[in-house]
């Protein structure tokens, strides 16, 4: 599944499958401006750390195109547009990585024309797009080898093709195991409040013919106690230098339960999700999202007027709860600070 992120040369636009409306309907959202890119990122037309990175890479190209038509110094205008993209969402490091990658290309090019910069950035965005799919396939290969035939794997949120350029990280591990001839079943935690597990993970796996059951988030303990879960695999929006993994809210609780019941808990993510500049998970800024995501289901309000809510979008899972970090370079194991330092050397 790779068609959900497309660059249209005809439209000169990034075309995204609007994930807000899945699985009920498949709508498409055209990004032609920086404002479009930032809107798509903030309201979660597109979400998932690798997919955010790919979107941001194309967004830099669109920002350069936009700067062509602006008054004043194009370099100053473009830097301002890049700042807007980089700051659209705070937690996923892939967003910052993609913008910094494009800034680095610009710096290295020196006194380049805007037209040449547009051409270079579009080519690089397409490379990042294709490269993300290859990375996910390798994550699937390494992670699939950790799965046993007949396993039931629990996952939290959506770290599948929809969260990447294609194939997926956590769901890439599932697909990798299936590609290796193993029979795998999946329990997809619904993942309140945005319901990425119920809406998106179940959509992907059902479409691929992989057996999946959706579970309420608060059923995890009972399912594990009953012996219905063999392994847990999740994605990550940022992995700190010490191996702490920041993922969708509720992941930390699932990891604590997995330790209680002796179930291996794995994190699957490409290397560029690892942030060596952030010492621990507690140093990662946690996005506080629109309360309406909690107070409403669709257009239906479920909480009383005037009642405040918490809508923290992510939580850090301490490295001691993680059995392995599955990357396209292989599986990292504790001590993670040493493994990550060696990886970046």
| β-pairing verdict for 152-156 and 185-189 | parallel
**Fold match, 5-136 / 141-344:** no
Could you give the percent of the chain with pLDDT greater than 70?
A: 100
**CB-CB contact of 198 with 224 (8 Å):** no
Q: pLDDT tens for residues 116-132?
A: 999 999 999 999 999 99
Question: For 282, which DSSP code?
Answer: G
**CB-CB contact of 173 with 266 (8 Å):** yes
pLDDT of amino acid 105:
98
> What average pLDDT does the segment 241-250 reach?
98
pLDDT of amino acid 85:
98
Catalytic site residues? 237
> What average pLDDT does the segment 171-190 reach?
98
Sheet holding 28-31, edge to edge: 5-8, 13-17, 28-31
CATH code, 5-136: 1.20.120.420
Residues with Cβ within 8 Å of 328's Cβ and at least 6 positions away in sequence, in order, are: 134, 135, 136, 138, 139, 142, 270, 271
Query: Which residue's structure tokens are 């950790």?
Result: 146
Q: pLDDT tens for residues 12-50?
A: 999 999 999 999 999 999 999 999 999 999 999 999 999
pLDDT of amino acid 92:
86
- Residue positions in the annotated binding site for substrate? 47-49, 89, 196, 247-248
Question: For 201, which DSSP code?
Answer: I
Q: pLDDT tens for residues 217-229?
A: 999 999 999 999 9
pLDDT of amino acid 322:
98
pLDDT of amino acid 302:
97
* Structural domain spans, the chain: 5-136, 141-344
pLDDT confidence band for 69 (50 / 70 / 90): confident
What are the DSSP E strand ranges found in 204-278?
212-215, 231-234, 238-240, 245-248, 265-268, 274-275
> What average pLDDT does the segment 143-154 reach?
98
CATH topology of domain 141-344: Rossmann fold (3.40.50)
- CA–centroid distance for 165 within its chain: 10
pLDDT of amino acid 2:
78
Whether pLDDT at 1 is above 90: no
- Residue positions in the annotated binding site? 47-49, 89, 196, 247-248
Query: How confident is the prediction for the chain on average, in pLDDT?
Result: 97
pLDDT of amino acid 136:
98
Whether pLDDT at 4 is above 90: yes
**CB-CB contact of 312 with 287 (8 Å):** yes
- The end-to-end CA distance of the chain, in Å, is 33
pLDDT of amino acid 41:
98
- Dihedral sign computed on CA atoms, order 216, 222, 226, 227: positive
Q: pLDDT tens for residues 305-343?
A: 999 999 999 999 999 999 999 999 999 999 999 999 999
* Stated pTM of the model: 0.94
| β-pairing verdict for 212-215 and 185-189 | parallel
| Token pair in block for residue 102 | 């494009």
């Amino acid at each position: 599944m790779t068609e959900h992120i497309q660059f249209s040369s005809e439209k000169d636009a990034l075309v995204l499958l609007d994930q807000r409306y899945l699985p009920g309907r498949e709508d498409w959202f055209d990004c032609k401006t920086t404002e479009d890119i930032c809107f798509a990122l903030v309201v979660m037309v597109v979400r998932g750390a690798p997919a955010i990175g790919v979107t941001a890479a194309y967004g830099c190209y669109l920002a350069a195109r936009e700067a062509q038509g602006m008054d004043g110094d194009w370099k100053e205008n473009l830097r301002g547009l890049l700042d807007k993209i980089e700051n659209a969402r705070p937690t996923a490091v892939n967003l910052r990585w993609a913008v910094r990658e494009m800034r680095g290309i610009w710096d290295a090019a020196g006194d380049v024309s805007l037209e040449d910069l547009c051409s270079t950035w579009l080519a690089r965005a397409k490379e990042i797009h294709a490269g993300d799919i290859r990375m996910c396939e390798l994550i699937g290969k390494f992670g699939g080898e950790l799965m046993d035939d007949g396993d039931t794997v629990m996952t939290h949120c959506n770290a599948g093709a929809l969260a990447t350029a294609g194939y997926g990280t956590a769901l890439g591990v599932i697909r990798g195991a299936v590609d290796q001839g193993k029979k795998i079943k999946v329990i997809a935690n619904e993942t309140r409040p945005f319901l990425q597990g119920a809406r998106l993970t179940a959509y992907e796996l059902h479409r691929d013919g992989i057996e999946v059951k959706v579970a309420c988030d608060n059923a995890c303990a009972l399912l594990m106690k009953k012996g219905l879960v063999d392994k847990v695999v999740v994605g990550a929006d940022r992995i700190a230098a010490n191996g702490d993994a920041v993922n969708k809210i509720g992941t930390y609780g699932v990891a604590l339960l997995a330790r209680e019941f002796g179930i291996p808990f794995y994190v699957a993510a490409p290397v560029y999700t690892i942030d060596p500049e952030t010492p621990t998970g507690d140093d990662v800024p946690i996005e506080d999202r629109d309360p309406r995501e909690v107070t409403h289901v669709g257009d239906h309000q479920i909480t009383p007027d005037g009642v405040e809510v918490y809508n923290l979008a992510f939580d850090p899972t301490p490295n001691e709860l993680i059995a392995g970090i599955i990357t396209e370079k292989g599986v990292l194991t504790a001590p993670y600070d040493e493994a990550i330092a060696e990886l970046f050397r």
